[in-house]
A and B are shown apart, each in its own frame.
Chain A
Amino acid sequence: MTNPAASRSQRSVAAPRRDTWSHIPEGMRPILAHTALISACFVMIYPLLWLTASAFREPAAIFTSPGLWPGEHFTLENFVTGWQGLGFVGFSTFFANSLIVAGLSVVGNVFACALAGYAFARLNFPFRRTLFALMMGTIMLPLHALLIPQYILFSSLGWLDTFLPLVVPKFLATEAFFVFLFVQFFRTIPGELTDAARIDGCGHFQIFWRIFVPLALPAMATTAAFSFIWAWNDFLHPLIYLNSPQNYTVTVGLSLFLDATSESNYGAMFAMSLVSLLPVVGFFLSFQKLLVAGIATTGMK
C-alpha cells in the first residue's frame, strides 16, 4: 500500500534534481534535448550512412576516405558491377528468388500459424497443453541441431536445390513463435463472439475465418512483417539448400563479393547491400502502423 507521506518525502528529495536544469532558460531546454537526441540518432544511423557513402565510392578509396561524402571518388560502377552478379546470373535473379521465398513464407506463416494458433487457443483436444508446451519447446532448439537431419529429410524427398525446403515448412506452422503470437492474440477475443457465431450455425473454420481473421489483422501484419524480414535476411538455409546460382537468394548472392582467400569487391558488396535493404525498409514502412498495433495487442516485447 502506498504511504502518502513517504511519497511526498520522495518527491521532496527528487525535487532538487529538477532544479539542476533550472538555470537553463526554458526555451533552450527543447533545443538541447533535441540536439542530444539527434546526436544519438546520428550515432545509430552512422553505419548506414557509411554503407551508403561506400556504395558510391571507388573500391580502393573505401577504407582510406573516412568521410560520409564520396567527393572525387564518387562512382556508380559498384552498382553496375554488383548488379551483374556472377555474369551468367545477375543480381536481379537473386532479388526475384528472395522475393519468391519471402513472399511464400509470409503467406505460409500467416495462414498456417493463425490456424494452429486458433486450435491451441480455442479448441479442446487431448494433450493440448502438452502439445503446446512441446511446440513452445521447439523455439529453444538450436538451429544447427536440426540442420543435418532436415537436410537428409529434404534430400530423400528430392527437394534439394529447390525453394521447397525453405517454403513448405512455413505452411505447416513450424514457426512456433508466430503460433504463440496468434494464441496470445486469440485468447483476448471474447468467448461471447464465438458463442454467438456458433448459435448462428458457424463451425470452427467459419468462426476462424469470419470472426477471428478480421479481428486478427494486427497480429497477421506482425507475422507478415517479421516473416518477410526473417526470410529475406535468412542466409544459412538458402546456403545449405540452394546449390545452383540460379536459385540463390540475395543474402547468398551478397556473399559472392567477399572471400577471405581472394580479392574481395567491397564496393559491389556495399552497393548491393544498400539495394537489398530497400525491400525490407519498404515492407516495414508499409506495415508500420499495423505492426505497432500488433506488438501492442499480442504482448510481444
Chain B
Amino acid sequence: MAPAASAQEVSGEISFAWWGAEARNRAILEVVAAFEEAHPGVKVLPQPTEFARHWDRVTVQAAAGQVPCIPMMQTRYQVRYENLGALLPLDDLIAEGKIDVSTIPEELIEGHRNADGNLYTLPIGLWFETYQYNWTRLEPTGVGEPQNDWTYEDYIEWARQARTELDEGVYPLSQLGTSITQFQMYAQARGEDLFDGVEPGFSEETLADWFRLWATASEERLAPDMAMSAEEPTATPQTYMAQGITLSRTGGDVTASELQAVLNELDGSVVHQAKSPNGNNPLVSGSHTLAISTNCANVDAAAAFIDFWLNDEPAAVRLQSQVGLVPSASLLEAQAADPNSPPTLVDRIEMYTDFADTYGVRIDVWPDNTQHLVNEFRDIYQQVGFGQSSPEDAASQFAEEVRRSLALN
C-alpha cells in the first residue's frame, strides 16, 4: 500500500464547509488548526454555517460548479450531490493510500457506497436516535426500564402501566405518530423498511397500523392528542419532555445532554436512553461525512485533510465527537479514556459500543428526493390525528407520495 497522505507533502489552499453551532464550530476549528500545524504548507479556508443554510448554500454552489473543496455531507442529503456529479469518487484515493480507512469497520464504509458503485463520502461522525425517558419520574410508577430490543407494542404496554400512576396532565409518551424515523423503527421490527429501491419498503397495512397505534395512544391519554402535539416546539430545550409534560421521547443521541441540562434546572430529573424500538434489528445510524468536490483544484491536500480527520488521535480527542461519534473504534476508545472528555460523551460512547456490539450498525442513506417526506409524513399523520383522514386512506396517500418521489430518481 502507498504511504498515507499524512506522510506526503501537500500544500496550497482548500476550502472546507460544514454546519454547526458554537461548541461544534470551536471543536472543528481546533482540528483545522491541528491539521495546518501538521501540514504547514496547507491553508484551510473555513466556511461554517447552520444545518439548513448549509444545504441552501451548497445547492447553489453545486449549480455553478463552485462547491467548496471539502463539503460536509450527511447521509440523508448526500445522494443528490453524488448523482449530480458534484462529488469526486474516493475509491482511487483510498487505493493509493492517500486516505487510510483501515481503522473504520468495513460495514460502516460500505454503507456509504452509492448505487453506482462509487464511494463519494467517508463518515466522520455517527448519529442515531435513541429512546429517551425520565427515569426519575417513571420509576415510582412501578414500570421497569425499557429494553434495547423492545418494539413500539412493548412501549405502549409499558405506558399503559405508567399511566395509572401519573397525574392527569402528565403523559408517559410523546406523540410520535408524526415521526417518519420512528415509523421506520416500527416497520423494521416487522421486517420492513422505509425504502426498497424505487418502491416503498413498507406495506400500507403496516403504516395504517402505525397511525392507529398513535391514535389509540392519544385516546388512552398515553400521549398528548394531536391538538396539543401540533403545538409542541421542536427545539430540545422547549419540548414537552423538557417541560415535564411528557416523560419520554425520541431524539438524537447528542440531544440527551441538552435535555438533561434543562431538566436539571426544572426538577433534577435524570434522563436514561435506550435503542430506538426496532426490536432486534441493527442500530440505525446516519452519519456526517466528508467528501471532495469535483471542482476542487487541490485534491491531494483535501485527501490529506480527510485522512487526518479519520486517523489523527490527538485531533479526535480534542474534537470530543462534536460532529457525531467518530467511526474508528480506536479513536472512540481514546476519547473515552481522555480525562477531559465530559461524562455525557463517555456515556454516549459506551451506549453506542453496546448497541453496535449487540445488534450491529446499519448506515441509513436516504435516496434523493425523499427529504421532504419527513414533513409530508407529519402532515399526513396530523390529518389522522385531527380526524380528517382514516389511517387506511392516509397510509395509501403516503405510500403513493413515496412512489412518486422515488420515481423522480
Contact = CB atoms under 8 A, between A and B. Distances in A.
B29 A261 contact: no
B279 interface: no
A148 B242 CA distance: 41
Nearest to A259: B21
Interface stretch (A29-37, A217-225, A249-257, A273-281): A249-257
A216 interface: no
A87 interface: yes
Contacts of A86: 25-26, 29, 48
B102 to A, nearest CB: 28
Nearest to A255: B50
B360 interface: no
Contacts of A62: 237
Contacts of B258: 263-264
A263 B63 contact: no
A29 B135 CA distance: 56
Given A63-B262, A86-B48, A261-B127, A152 B237 contact: no
A262 B56 contact: no
Given A63-B238, A239-B57, A258 B50 contact: yes
Contacts of A233: none
B20 interface: yes
Contacts of B242: 63-64
Contacts of B47: 243-245
Contacts of B235: 264
B13 to A, nearest CB: 11
For A64, A86, A268, the residue with the greatest tally of chain B CB atoms inside 10 Å of its CB is A64
Interface in A45-68: 60-65
B22 A261 contact: no
A228 B125 CA distance: 41
Interface in B195-246: 235, 237-238, 242-243
Nearest to A254: B50
Nearest to A242: B47
B60 A257 contact: no
A256 B54 CA distance: 11
A235 to B, nearest CB: 8
B2 interface: no
Category for how many chain A residues contact B: 35 or more
B264 A262 contact: no
Contacts of A260: 50-52
B25 A256 contact: yes
Given A60-B262, A245-B48, A263-B21, A240 B29 contact: no
Contacts of A202: none
B66 to A, nearest CB: 6
A61 B263 CA distance: 10
Given A60-B261, A261-B19, A265-B23, A256 B60 contact: no
B42 to A, nearest CB: 16
A256 B265 contact: no
A60 B26 contact: no
Contacts of B63: 148, 151-152
A265 to B, nearest CB: 4
Contacts of A64: 242, 262, 265-266
A265 B45 CA distance: 24
A9 B24 CA distance: 72
B57 A60 contact: no
A207 interface: no
A24 to B, nearest CB: 38
Contacts of A61: 265
Given A256-B22, A261-B127, A244 B45 contact: yes
Interface string B1-43: 0000000000000010101111111100100000000000000
Given A64-B266, A147-B60, A243 B24 contact: no
B175 to A, nearest CB: 20
Interface-central residue, A65, A88, A264, by most chain B CB under 10 Å: A264
A258 B234 CA distance: 13
A9 B274 CA distance: 75
A264 B257 CA distance: 12
A300 B304 CA distance: 58
A152 B74 CA distance: 25
Interface in A70-96: 81, 86-88
Contacts of B257: 263
A107 interface: no
Interface of B: 15, 17, 19-26, 29, 45-53, 56-57, 60-61, 63-64, 66, 68, 74, 127, 235, 237-238, 242-243, 252, 254, 257-258, 261-262, 264-266, 288, 322-323
Given A240-B56, A243-B17, A261-B19, 14 more contacts: A63-B262, A87-B29, A155-B64, A236-B56, A244-B47, A252-B49, A255-B50, A256-B25, A256-B50, A258-B50, A259-B20, A262-B21, A264-B258, A268-B22
29 contacts: A60-B262, A65-B265, A86-B29, A87-B29, A148-B64, A151-B61, A152-B63, A155-B64, A239-B49, A239-B56, A240-B60, A243-B17, A245-B47, A257-B22, A258-B21, A259-B19, A259-B20, A259-B21, A261-B20, A261-B127, A261-B252, A261-B254, A262-B21, A263-B21, A263-B257, A263-B258, A264-B21, A265-B22, A265-B23
Interface of A: 60-65, 81, 86-88, 147-148, 151-152, 155, 160, 236, 239-240, 243-245, 252, 255-266, 268
